[in-house]
Amino acid sequence: MAQILAPSSQWQMRIARNSAPASPMTAKMWSSLVLKQNKKGTAKSSAKFRVFAVKSENGTINRMEDLLNLDLTPYTDSFIAEYIWIGGSGIDLRSKSRTISKPIEHPSELPKWNYDGSSTGQAPGEDSEVILYPQAIFKDPFRGGNNILVMCDTYTPQGEPIPTNKRHRAAEIFSNKKVVDEVPWFGIEQEYTLLQTNVKWPLGWPVGGYPGPQGPYYCAAGADKSFGRDISDAHYKACLYAGVNVSGTNGEVMPGQWEYQVGPSVGIDAGDHIWISRYILERITEQAGVVLSLDPKPIEGDWNGAGCHTNYSEGGRRL
């Protein structure tokens, strides 16, 4: 089966095409090419992925990238809404897509939807229906056009928030007049680690081995010190495109580890923006063939942990 690595053009990146004829590749050959940049001079920035068109068994070139990047707006008023919610573990993200036939300006105009909660650890098999309530809308950096990402929370068919729905209670607190008057500002620093797919070992590390001691990697540049910058930059641009209030990014202390900052955001927006930013990062690492880890201590020993530091200020004072 043909495979392709095709980041969306909506990341404001250009796809560098191979000029040489494509040839069949095995799965092993493909995995060795994932995330390698074009070294023939066609790419002008380190933030650009090379896309490989792979021959299928009948010898024709797979043009899936053209379909992925189709602009639907000249042909239909319909668009795609990706409904996103937090799964049963409290840290996993789930999503599914549906067609919306008319323009919308507010989440309340979107239809509620449902899913099988027994498959996400959020409902028993004999009573598995969970209802998605749209709560926040972001532009979709993967599909582009009028397509959107929709942050949802989760309820029973009777309208009660399910136990894993923490957003419902948070929204009640943040809508309290006393809290609103305080103008609660949040600045969130999300650290994460990029892992090699098959071995679950940090990106840039020798398999089964260790790099040099920590010190030269923090906010560093260079092929021997910075691993995964393309992913960090792609995520940064995708978040800005989506409307996420991302304010910065940097390489972290441990090689293969990065951080980005969301905020300042007020009230419930802070939660919606950090969760959508995580979803976007999951999608980007999925396309890049790299595993995202939010584990607070991914590697034992004298190696930096990965946290999610939260800064808070009342009354709109600067963080």
Query: Looking at residue 316, what is its pLDDT?
Result: 57
Residue showing tokens 């894993």: 164
Distance, CA of 278 to chain centre? 5
Query: Looking at residue 130, what is its pLDDT?
Result: 98
- DSSP symbol at 173: H
Interacting residues of 103 by C-beta distance below 8 A, sequence separation 6+: 77, 146
Question: What residue type is assigned to position 236 of the chain?
Answer: Y
Query: Looking at residue 271, what is its pLDDT?
Result: 97
Spell out the per-residue pLDDT of the chain, length 319, in tens: 333 333 333 333 333 333 333 333 333 433 333 344 334 444 343 334 444 444 554 434 467 888 888 888 899 999 999 999 999 999 999 999 999 999 999 999 999 999 999 999 999 999 999 999 999 999 999 999 999 999 999 999 999 999 999 999 999 999 999 999 999 999 999 999 999 999 999 999 999 899 999 999 999 999 999 999 999 999 999 999 999 999 999 999 999 999 999 999 999 999 999 999 999 999 999 999 999 999 999 999 999 999 999 999 987 554 4
Alpha helices in the chain (DSSP H): 27-33, 64-68, 167-174, 177-182, 229-242, 268-288
Interacting residues of 291 by C-beta distance below 8 A, sequence separation 6+: 194, 195, 196, 197, 200, 285
Residue of 71, 148, 158, 143 lying closest to 106 (CA atoms): 148
CA distance 24 to 1: 10
What is the value of pTM for the model shown?
Answer: 0.81
